[in-house]
Structure 1
Amino acid sequence: MRGLKVLPSGRPGMGRLFVNLPDGRAVAWYDRRTNRISLLDETHREAVLAALRPYLSGEPAVGPPPVPTPAERLRLALAPDRDLAPNRPGEPLLGELAYGSPGTRTRHRLRREIEAREAVGAELEALEAMDWRVLHAVPLPGGGVIDHLLIGPAGVFCVATVAGRRQRVRAGDLLVTVGRADPRPDVRHIRRAAAHAARALRAPATPVVAVVDAATVEVAPTLRDVRVLQPALTPYFTTATPALKPPDADALFSLARDTSTWLP
């Protein structure tokens, strides 16, 4: 059948590919993660396979859509204004930069902070190919934000981003100091954020400080409960001890992407 259109959904390279009729109705979708084609109309099988052939990886499974899991049903019922999944890294800072009236120095600082969050966010999103899920700019009561929330095989991680600015970064039990600037409470904040995440998700959450573009990083020997990492971050998460099965990680991600989980 001619006229079938293949349209992507989700993050590039990671979301589903939908196959639509000329009038816009979907007849199938291809899930890259599971290498499965779900057919909504069996009569279009051959046309769908032909349209998807350039995008397939190996021999896909083909059949009717699987029965939604409880986590998927929760996600499908989520109103768009409550869904955190579309948030970009540094979302609040992007809004401040675009709609606020910062001075030149503040604008420069915001850009630097946004670039750091984008760098960490890109590295965490790359883990999605290995069954991880990531959310950015998760809101907290009182106006705080978790820069990145990572959920996957090794558990739940709350990640704060520190822009190193090619200077020495020192992480203590409560504060982080970049160069000669005033100390910042990143360690204290991410520790509290992880405790809140553990209560909200009813699952252990590990606090992480990700340092970007630092000359050197010094960590106080007494700082043991907060992980201080530098890119590349991937080895730490991919080699950590497995703690969650895929259905449990999916259920936690569905819960975490709902704003009301964090701001009831």
Structure 2
Amino acid sequence: MSGPSRQPGRLGPDRLRVIPTWRHGQERLYVCHPDGRNVAWYDREAARVHLLSEDEREDVLQALGPFLTGPVAVGPPPVPTPADLARLSLHPDDDLAPNRPGEALLVALDREPAPVHRLRPDPRRRALTAEQTVGDALDRLDGAGWHTLHSIPLPGGDRIHHLAIGPGGLFAVHALYARKQRVQVADPMVTLGRHEAQPLLRRVRSDADRASYALTAEVHPLLALAGPADLRVTAPPRGVRILQDTDLEGLTRMGGVLKPADVEALHAMARDRATWGRV
């Protein structure tokens, strides 16, 4: 008779727990101690269990038993880089990499949905659409050596919508819903359709400045417009890039700023929640 199946995230009799994570549609199962320390991870696509401690081989395989699909190779991971070591030392609750585009808005809408009798659409829904549209476009840069973190929390309740890190540098990206609307930019003001102009570029620059302080590296501000009908810029804004979501792939044509090792090291630093605690 088979024993009870073990669910992800629950402690088993072998005191280990299995935590699934998804990134760009790929699943990886981490095996952790109760205090959050990783001891192994299972890469389904490669059919390999990467084991950090040979002494815990039996416990790891026992914990992964309900999740293994066919024969798997078991062995130590490739020699870890400093970025790998930093990532593996993170407690899952402090790792921002699994955040989905619009993560904070998704949580807020789940906790406090808009009243059903609301006459106008919930503005959070449009903001979420913008972040998801822009975030998905940035995630597609992954194959070109880029990493993107989403919904980075900052002190005071602020957050950076997206942080893109790649060969072309670092970009703090603010997503703006502009579907079928005309957008006019007169630094620092941004006018969306018939709405009143807002000094949005100040916010975009502030996000980049705070990210630069946290990462001790130059971070460029970028305003990403989701689906505008028209864009007019009266004069090039100081230091801010303005792109439509469909043009974000152009970042892959930028290079010569960061080496692959630098990209990985900055990504490892940026994904740690503690990095952003004092900015």
Tell me how far apart the structure 2 counterparts of residues 70 and 110 of structure 1 sit (CA, whole Å): 38
Specify the alignment match of 1:221 in structure 2: 235
State whether structure 2 residue 276 is matched by structure 1 residue 255.
Answer: no
Q: 1:98 to 1:233 in 2, by over 3 A?
A: same
Tell me how far apart the structure 2 counterparts of residues 186 and 15 of structure 1 sit (CA, whole Å): 37
Structure 2 counterparts to residues 51-66 of structure 1, below 5 A: 64-66=76-78
Tell me how far apart the structure 2 counterparts of residues 167 and 239 of structure 1 sit (CA, whole Å): 28
Is contact 2:137-2:249 (8 Å) kept?
no
Is contact 1:14-1:128 (8 Å) kept?
no
Unaligned runs of 5+ in 2: 1-18, 31-38, 55-67
Tell me how far apart the structure 2 counterparts of residues 176 and 139 of structure 1 sit (CA, whole Å): 24
Is contact 1:172-1:187 (8 Å) kept?
no
State whether structure 2 residue 95 is matched by structure 1 residue 83.
Answer: yes
State whether structure 2 residue 147 is matched by structure 1 residue 133.
Answer: yes
Which of 190, 212, 215 aligns to 2:226? It is 212
Once the two structures are TM-superposed, the CA of residue 263 in structure 1 deviates from its matched residue by 1.2
Once the two structures are TM-superposed, the CA of residue 105 in structure 1 deviates from its matched residue by 5.3
Amino acid at match of 2:184: R
Q: 1:27 to 1:214 in 2, by over 3 A?
A: closer
Specify the alignment match of 2:244 in structure 1: 230
Tell me how far apart the structure 1 counterparts of residues 24 and 176 of structure 2 sit (CA, whole Å): 26
Secondary structure of the 2:256 match is: coil
Deviations 1:29-80 (A, max 9, x none): 5597xx8967659xxxxxx9x858xxxxxxxxx9852121111111111122
State whether structure 2 residue 172 is matched by structure 1 residue 158.
Answer: yes
Secondary structure of the 1:232 match is: helix
TM-score, structure 1 normalization = 0.77
Is contact 2:94-2:273 (8 Å) kept?
yes
Alignment RMSD (CA, Å): 3.2
State whether structure 2 residue 205 is matched by structure 1 residue 191.
Answer: yes
Percent identity over paired residues: 41
TM-score, structure 2 normalization = 0.73
Specify the alignment match of 1:4 in structure 2: none
Deviations 1:144-186 (A, max 9, x none): 1111000111111000011113110112212221111122332
Number of residue-to-residue matches in the alignment: 237
Which of 114, 127, 132 aligns to 2:128? It is 114
Tell me how far apart the structure 2 counterparts of residues 153 and 179 of structure 1 sit (CA, whole Å): 35
Q: 1:198 to 1:128 in 2, by over 3 A?
A: same
